[in-house]
Chain A
Amino acid sequence: MARRTDARLKSFFASRRRFSRWALAAALVAMVGILPGHAQQTSRAKILSKRLMCMCGCAQVLGECNHVGCTMSGGMLKDLDRQVAGGGSDNLVLQSFVQDFGEKVLAEPPARGFNLLAWLMPIFVTLAGFAVVRTVMVRWRHPALATAAGPDRMSGRLSARKNDASEAAADEMLQRVRRESGLDD
């Protein structure tokens, strides 16, 4: 009898534990709500999802947005899957998103109009930088072209020479290492 009671109690508490686990799980699902998880995408949809931005304001690429509480990415990805499955070209798919959300949905600025500047400026600045460095090197290579030397210029040269001399004296061994190891010409 006692054994049966024990078994009942165990069963009762086991079912209570099971129940509380299920209750906790249900509460979690209710609290967490429907999160943006969704089924597997095709590889083309995946590539396209990285050319689009999530429109929830998280500033993340659509294919990488798992922003907590995101209300947009799930629907957008589904829409993308549907359009890719429909057989539309990449441009058509992207354009349909642009129609829905504006150009802001594209992960990179379109290379036209004012937005072309986004692409050109880094190239222009780098090329201009190369030109400046080249000009500077040519000028420094021919000191006669450089501006006239003033007293500060002379002191700068002296201080540099002094630096070199003191450094050589202070660490003669290292200089030797470099010379003998063929690193100094």
Chain B
Amino acid sequence: MNKAVLDFEKPIFELESKISEMRQYADKLDIADEITRLERKVKKLKESVYGDLTRWQKVQLARHPERPYTLDYIYLMASDFIELHGDRQCKDDKSIVGGFAKIDEHKVMIIGHQKGRDTKSNVYRNFGMPNPEGYRKALRLMKLAEKFNRPVITMLDTPGAYPGLEAEQRGQAEAIARNLLEMSRLKVPVIVVIIGEGASGGALGIGVGDRILMLENCWYSVISPESCSSILWKSWDFKEQAAEALRLTAPDLLQQKIIDRIVPEPLGGAHTNYEAAAKNLKTAILEELNQLLKLKTEKLLDLRFSKFAKMGVWHE
């Protein structure tokens, strides 16, 4: 078995492999009852394990190497996808993909971070860490969507904007800042979905919109638990505590009124059933989109403005 198994999932996978082993002997031996019993046990175990994940375990699920990425969702949810490339200034950043697509009858622009599956494709995708040209490509595509009056859907899944030499030279900060400003007044509906990791400015750089959706097992915060641990605890060993302290899961963010909706994942995480995960996401996107399309542009922009204006907590 070459499946990537997380620590806390081990008991489940052990039981599951035992069951599949027993199935091979099922015609020769009378063990059907035993198999049913074990299957019931697995189901219960799954419910208890996945129903009670710690924040750090959710971070691990969000990074699961088999988790569906932006292109997977595009192919499962949409049709007629035409990928568009390049920022028209410098190059084509492979860690952000985007293009025209159809979700049912809706013609939309979909843009998202893209990770790779193995070493080779991860190098090609720069591990989903964009350079400035990635954000500029995203902005170019958003402007294109605005021009042709098509809603924008963005999918966030990045360990962060790339902290490299050339990235700084070409204005990583400026590229992200520009996107925040432009997305806040883009004259078409924008739906943002966090599908994996939402690491700080690198994620937010394509994350300003009218609705913020988040898949069940994702994280979104100002910093990764590891970096937070290294800065505040002066050691890499406190990532679990940092994850707890940062309150970075979907239920946390719903309570903080930073996201609008949690999209349920199949039991065990989106990677266990791509189709089911994509189906849930598509349903949620269509529901939100149909609401947003009823709004006049001016109203849409007013609501988007006040949505972000309300974020934060202070005393005075």
* A and B bind: no
B residues sitting closer than 8 Å to A (CB atoms) are: none
